[in-house]
Amino acid sequence: MTELENHVEVCMQFFKNVITITSNRLEALKDDERITQQALVKHVADHLGMTSDKVYHIVKVVLNNYPNKVIKSRGSEAGISNK
């Protein structure tokens, strides 16, 4: 494996970890539970031993068109919940 191939593999594994942690938390939501995007990002960052700002944009990409979840970004009902 070349250095480039190894680098790509390491990067892909990182992204896969972020996606998996995010998806696992979202799928674990109970019917009446809601989680804020900030809390979700912190959850992912804590699992990876990173700060929230390092994973925020990746989590936002995962949330885009995420199936079977209601995602509201503003107002008193902001957060992520089941449909």
Q: What is the mean pLDDT of residues 24-42?
A: 96
**By the 8 A CB rule, do 18 and 59 touch?**
yes
Q: How many CA atoms does the CB half-sphere of 39 hold within 13 Å?
A: 12
Is the model's pLDDT at 7 over the cut of 80?
yes
Is the model's pLDDT at 76 over the cut of 90?
no
Q: What is the mean pLDDT of residues 67-79?
A: 88
Q: For 49-66, how does the pLDDT look when each residue is reduced to its tens digit (9 = 90+)?
A: 999 999 999 999 999 999
Share of the chain above pLDDT 90, in %: 90
Q: What is the mean pLDDT of residues 8-24?
A: 97
The tokens for 35 are 């989680």
Query: How far is CA 15 from its chain centroid?
Result: 10
DSSP letter, residue 74: S
